[in-house]
Amino acid sequence: MSGKIFPTAQDAENAFYEALERCDLEGMMAVWAEDEDIVCVHPAGGRLCGQDEMRESWARIFAAGPRARVTIEQQVALTGMMLAVHSVFERFVIPQVKPEAQPAPIIATNVYLRTAAGWRMIVHHASPAPAQAQNAPRDAGPKILH
């Protein structure tokens, strides 16, 4: 078990993105719950389940080379006593590859569980997004389905 304690889901989320930018496998795994029911879906990738698949996947990503800079925008956070869900718009830039490249837009959903060892990630699902972040209309009236 990791000795790191994340007092809030936001602390766990910050550690996740910091480990991602640093290509820090141990830091990344410290964020995840030590459970075989954890799930990760990388953009355009399949579903990964459990600690072993998670570790192998992140090790491959981090071994691939250049470190990404990630900017998080438009976070929507829903937090309860035991569970937190964060929806974020990620922008990835890999400056070492193409300094002039436009950020790769990704939409991600991160789910955190409050455990005896603090908040831990249990789901990360990331998908390619449209180039422009879209703001959801907050004042739209109720939808009528039929």
d(CA 19, CA 136): 29
- Domain harbouring 18, CATH code: 3.10.450.50
What values do phi and psi take at 30, rounded to 5?
-65, -25
Output the pLDDT for position 146. Answer: 45
Residue 85 domain flag: no
In-domain check, residue 1 = yes
Which pLDDT does position 143 carry in this prediction?
45
Domain count, the chain: 1
Q: Tell me the pLDDT of the chain (146 aa) as tens digits.
A: 557 899 999 999 999 999 998 899 999 999 999 989 999 999 888 999 999 999 999 999 888 766 778 888 888 899 899 999 999 988 877 766 565 666 678 899 999 999 998 999 999 999 988 765 455 545 544 445 54
**What is the SS3 string spanning the chain?**
CCCCCECCHHHHHHHHHHHHHHCCHHHHHHHECCCCCCEEECCCCCEEEHHHHHHHHHHHHHHCCCCCEEEEEEEEEEECCCEEEEEEEEEEECCCCCCCCCCEEEEEEEEEEEECCEEEEEEEEEEECCCCCCCCCCCCCCCCCC
Provide the pLDDT for residue 71.
Answer: 80
The answer to the question of residue 34 being in a domain is yes
The pLDDT of residue 99:
59
Domain that holds residue 46: 1-67+125-130
- Is residue 10 in some structural domain? yes
On whether residue 59 sits in a domain, the answer given is yes
pLDDT score recorded for residue 105: 84
Phi first, then psi, for residue 35 (nearest 5°) are -150, 145
Over the stretch 57-85, which tens digit does the pLDDT of each residue have? 999 988 876 677 888 888 889 989 999 99
> Cα–Cα distance between 87 and 20 in angstroms, integer?
17
pLDDT given at position 132: 57
Residue 118's pLDDT is what? 95
In this prediction, residue 102 carries a pLDDT of 67
